[in-house]
Chains A and B, each alone.
Chain A
Amino acid sequence: MRDKITRFLAVSVVGLTLLCAAVFVFLARYMNSTSAQTMREVGTIYMTGMNERISMHFHTMIEQRLAQVEALLEFYGADGSDKQAVDRELAYGAKARGFESLALCSDDGRFEMLYGNAIKITDPEPFMESLRNQEKKIAVGTDADGKNMVYLGVPAAYAMSGKETGRALVAGLPVDYIRDMLSLDKSNTLVYSHIIRKDGSFVIRGGEAFRQSYFQRIRAIVEEAGGSNGEQYVEELSAAMAENRNYSQVLEIGKERRHLYCAKLPYSEWYLVTIMPYDTLNETIGRLNRQWGYMVFLSCGIVLLSLLLFFVRYFKLTRMQLREVEEARREAVEANKAKSEFLSNMSHDIRTPMNAIVGMTAIAITNADNQAQVQSCLRKIAMSSKHLLGLINDVLDMSKIESGKMTLNMDQVSLREAMDSIVSIVQPQMKAKNQQFEVRIYDISAEHVCCDSVRLNQILLNLLSNAIKFTPEKGCISLSLWQEPSPKGEDYRRCHIEVADNGIGMAPEFKEKIFESFVREDRTRVHKTEGTGLGLAITKYIVDAMGGTIQVESRQGEGSRFCVILDLEKAVVQEVDMVLPNWSMLVVDDDHMLCRSTVSTLKSIGVEAEWTLDGESALDKIEQRHREHRDYQIVLIDWKLPGIDGIETARRITRMLEKEIPIILISAYDWNDIEEEARAAGIDGFISKPLFKSTLFYGLRDYMGMAEKNKEEPGRDLKGCRVLVAEDNELNWEIASELLSELGLELEWAENGQICVDKFKSSAPGYYDAVLMDLRMPVMTGYEAADAIRRMDRPDADIPIIAMTADAFAEDIKRCLEHGMNAHMAKPIDVGETARMLKKFIK
């Protein structure tokens, strides 16, 4: 194609150039010949006019001179007067008119000189003939000195010396005079003329002619210039002269051309030949032609140049276009190749699980009786089917994305649930590959967000399953989630999701196109890894659709790190009031961030917690607290710890303390495998990471009852303690009284805050051991009553006051503490809880 266009362009350029040149050459030639033709015509016209003028001039001059001679005749008549006087008069008149000589001519041609030199007519015959016929005539001749003369003869009957009567009067003029008059001898004029006779002999030579005959001159000149047609000109000329025709001819003398014009002169046997060389004309025409030629070539050049420019530009454009077409074609081919490669990969990937299904089905059929075998087959079939389904889902997703049909289904999503479910999905795979899994969550201020939960799950699953796939056995994978304020405003939280591994990583050039469809790094290491290669393209698309960003850092052989940033809207959910008793807790985890975040989360649900980073320091802390008789009430301990692990730590705690405190294991792993060992080591329960607020709340609440049971049996005897109960509602009071009496307490009832304060005031110091205070009471609220008691100037003004209310908001608890109360209990009244509280605070 490209060659064709190039060839076409080249041929066009050459063709057009040739055409152009030919047209211009033709034009130049044509114009040249036309102008030469025109010039010849102009020359002829000019020459004719010139010749005519010269002959007219000659005519006029001869006429004039003849008229002068005739005038002499008129003045001095030939009638009988004195001959001598007449002769004298004639001579005088002729001298006065500038004639050089004057003679009378007899019938037989004898001259009687009146003055001047003797006359000798060169060719007297025609002269005398005309005179005898009473015609005027001119002729040339020589005088006695040999000077060339022109003689004008006019018939006149003057008496000659003797008896004879003269036939004519003849006056002489020097030839030079005529030559001067006719400007025949002017060498500075371009035109020169000769006067010749019929036989070609010169009468008067013009210019530089020196030969006897003009015919000879023509022949000689033509011959000299190498021409051969001199004779032809001579013949034509003499023929024209014989016929008394004017003759006009361009003489080609070598390269030179001359225009010749010949015309008969009157009163004589002479012909005027005028010659004009074309040189001057030629030169003018030549200049014109040259200019014309230049112009032609110049314009031809301009036209060619612009043509050339046009072609070059066109050629370049075509080349560019071709290149683009080529590029597009290459891209299309590449895309096509990627797709067909993908198809063949996919077919292979689909065939593998399909083969497994078919094979396993066959095995199951043949072993239908062996239940264990059948079950194992079915398990494998289920696994393969699941894998197959995954592949097909990916392909469907991708085609949905490519056709632009994927939409997000926004809903309230609990990040805790999302993380829990993803962790439980990927755990078995990681366990199978013996990989370490870390889940880190911190600074979560909005657990519920608006998001497409399915797609969010897909993002996490894609990233994690990639990490699992490309991390070898015993590798390390971590999933982190944290939040920070979003630039999108108050209602949004910016969520960072980070999946990192220390697997095989990827090459930088592959990193560039990792989010493209149908791409999987082409390395033998990767070949045995299954997958469609669509996962990350889908992930990227989902993240884009959610308005987030995804970035990847990776180094070959060192691992990869994917960071997803999403700005998610906080969901408006009435979160359940999550309040736990203000237990004192210890959190043990090697992750500093997790410890800090967990402690602050625990604080927000009313639990006082401390943290430490390893098992040894945890043991120290627990021991110290034990010595101070204020044991931790719950210990949260990570399974994997540097040094002694969680289970060993638990074992030592149990051994160290004679009484048990609840120990709860926290881990990202499923604890089924270690449950037995853990239970044996004295671990009471398990909370799976990630530790959201709700995870902790629900997880710990489940162990709350147990905590009570453990605490219940021993401890202080409450028998005989006197407790003042401020409660406005009689029914509530009765219930409280009924329940708490069981503990052996002596209870007194105050119907409102005021009564409560009064009773306390009027009692002896130390009479009451504690106050249970309802908060919402008529007359005086629990807060005010607590303030009043604390303000009293009594030794027992610091009596334990425990708030007891149906409100269980964190703010209420805070407010209770602000008003000097020792603790807060939520209704309904619980015997165990109340007993624990009272024991805690009664001295």
Chain B
Amino acid sequence: MSLIDCYKSLEGDYDDVLGRLRSEKLVQKFVLKFLNDGSYDLLCSSLEAKDYKEAFRASHTIKGVCQNLSFTKLYRSSHELTEALRNGWSPEADPLVEQVKKDYEQTVTAIRKLQAEVGG
């Protein structure tokens, strides 16, 4: 799977990220690094511990990373989750958490396929 296909399958904006980072190699490097980012784990664990302040920060970080990498779909759901958690837990948060998890899985699956291809 090429980098472009990977962006397609995780519903991101390849042109945008390429415009900013300017090199395909660089993009690929950071995309692959996303797999090692601990923010998602932090989000899950803090939600479990009902530490919503920390969960807010984690989802905020995911949002920031997604903005940097132009992972549009995950950015959207994490952005909404961030807003839902901004002032502690709110009723909208639960479905949004599910959405973020779903989108994260979609993103990670796509990147894993890319990883398998490039052998990184």
Q: Which residues of A contact B (CB under 8 A)?
A: 728-732, 734-735, 738-739, 774, 776-778, 805-807, 827-831
Contact = CB atoms under 8 A, between A and B. Distances in A.
A777 to B, nearest CB: 8
Given A731-B33, A732-B68, A828-B20, 10 more contacts: A729-B61, A729-B64, A729-B65, A730-B37, A731-B34, A739-B20, A774-B64, A776-B60, A806-B63, A806-B82
B61 A728 contact: yes
Closest 9 pairs between A and B when the two form their complex, measured CB to CB: A806-B64, A828-B67, A827-B67, A828-B68, A806-B63, A776-B60, A731-B37, A729-B61, A735-B68
B37 to A, nearest CB: 5
B39 A806 contact: no
B33 A732 contact: no
A739 B39 CA distance: 22
A738 B28 CA distance: 13
Interface string B1-36: 000000000000000000011000010001001101
A520 to B, nearest CB: 55
Contacts of A806: 60, 63-64, 67, 79, 82
A777 B26 CA distance: 25
Contacts of B20: 739, 828-831
Contacts of B37: 729-731
Contacts of A778: 54, 57
Nearest to A826: B67
B77 interface: no
Contacts of A735: 21, 30, 68-69
B107 interface: no
B26 A738 contact: yes
Nearest to A742: B22
Contacts of A829: 20, 68
Contacts of B30: 731, 734-735, 738
15 contacts: A729-B61, A729-B65, A730-B36, A730-B38, A731-B37, A731-B68, A732-B68, A738-B21, A778-B54, A806-B64, A827-B68, A828-B20, A828-B67, A829-B20, A830-B20
B33 A734 contact: yes
Contacts, number: 61
Contacts of A831: 20
Interface of B: 20-21, 26, 30, 33-34, 36-39, 54, 56-57, 60-61, 63-65, 67-70, 79, 82
Contacts of B21: 735, 738-739
Given A730-B37, A735-B68, A739-B20, A776 B61 contact: yes
Contacts of A777: 57
B104 to A, nearest CB: 14
A806 to B, nearest CB: 4
Contacts of A728: 61
A776 B85 CA distance: 13
Contacts of B54: 778
A828 B33 contact: no
Most buried by B among A735, A827, A829, A830: A735
A738 B56 CA distance: 27
B20 to A, nearest CB: 6
Nearest to B26: A738
Contacts of B70: 828
Nearest to A705: B19
Nearest to B37: A731
Contacts of A732: 61, 64-65, 68
B77 to A, nearest CB: 13
A739 B79 CA distance: 24
A776 B67 CA distance: 15
A827 B39 CA distance: 17
Contacts of B82: 806
A805 B64 contact: yes
A827 B64 contact: yes
A616 to B, nearest CB: 41
Contacts of B68: 731-732, 735, 827-829
Nearest to A738: B26
Nearest to A774: B64
A270 B101 CA distance: 162
Most A-side CB within 10 Å, residue of B20, B61, B64, B70: B64
A805 to B, nearest CB: 7
A133 B61 CA distance: 180
A813 to B, nearest CB: 16
B14 to A, nearest CB: 14
A559 B49 CA distance: 72
A774 B60 CA distance: 11
A95 B4 CA distance: 187
A831 B57 CA distance: 25
A230 to B, nearest CB: 138
A434 to B, nearest CB: 45
A806 B62 CA distance: 10
B27 to A, nearest CB: 10
In this complex, which of A734, A738, A805, A828 has the most chain B Cβ atoms within 10 angstroms of its Cβ? A828
A112 B39 CA distance: 191
Contacts of A830: 20
A575 to B, nearest CB: 13
Given A735-B30, A829-B68, A830-B20, A729 B39 contact: yes
Contacts of B39: 729
Contacts of A729: 37, 39, 61, 64-65
Contacts of B79: 806
A739 B20 CA distance: 8
A729 B36 CA distance: 11
A783 to B, nearest CB: 13
Contacts of A730: 33, 36-38
A811 to B, nearest CB: 11
A731 B57 contact: no
B21 to A, nearest CB: 7
A752 to B, nearest CB: 11
A831 B22 CA distance: 10
Contacts of B26: 738
B23 to A, nearest CB: 9
A437 B50 CA distance: 60
Given A734-B30, A735-B30, A776 B57 contact: yes
Contacts of A738: 21, 26, 30
A735 B26 CA distance: 9
A829 B82 CA distance: 19
A208 B118 CA distance: 177
Contacts of B60: 776, 806-807
A828 B37 CA distance: 17
A739 B34 CA distance: 17
A778 B64 CA distance: 15
A245 to B, nearest CB: 138
Contacts of A734: 30, 33
**Most B CB atoms within 10 A — which of A774, A806, A830?**
A806
A730 B30 CA distance: 11
Nearest to A736: B68
A728 B36 CA distance: 14
A735 B65 CA distance: 9
Contacts of B56: 776
A734 B68 CA distance: 11
Contacts of A739: 20-21
A829 B37 CA distance: 18
Contacts of B38: 730
A629 to B, nearest CB: 29
Contacts of A805: 64
A834 to B, nearest CB: 11
B78 to A, nearest CB: 9
B46 to A, nearest CB: 11
In this complex, the member of B26, B65, B68, B70 whose beta carbon has the largest number of chain A beta carbons within 10 angstroms is: B68
A376 to B, nearest CB: 44
Nearest to B86: A807
A806 B65 CA distance: 9
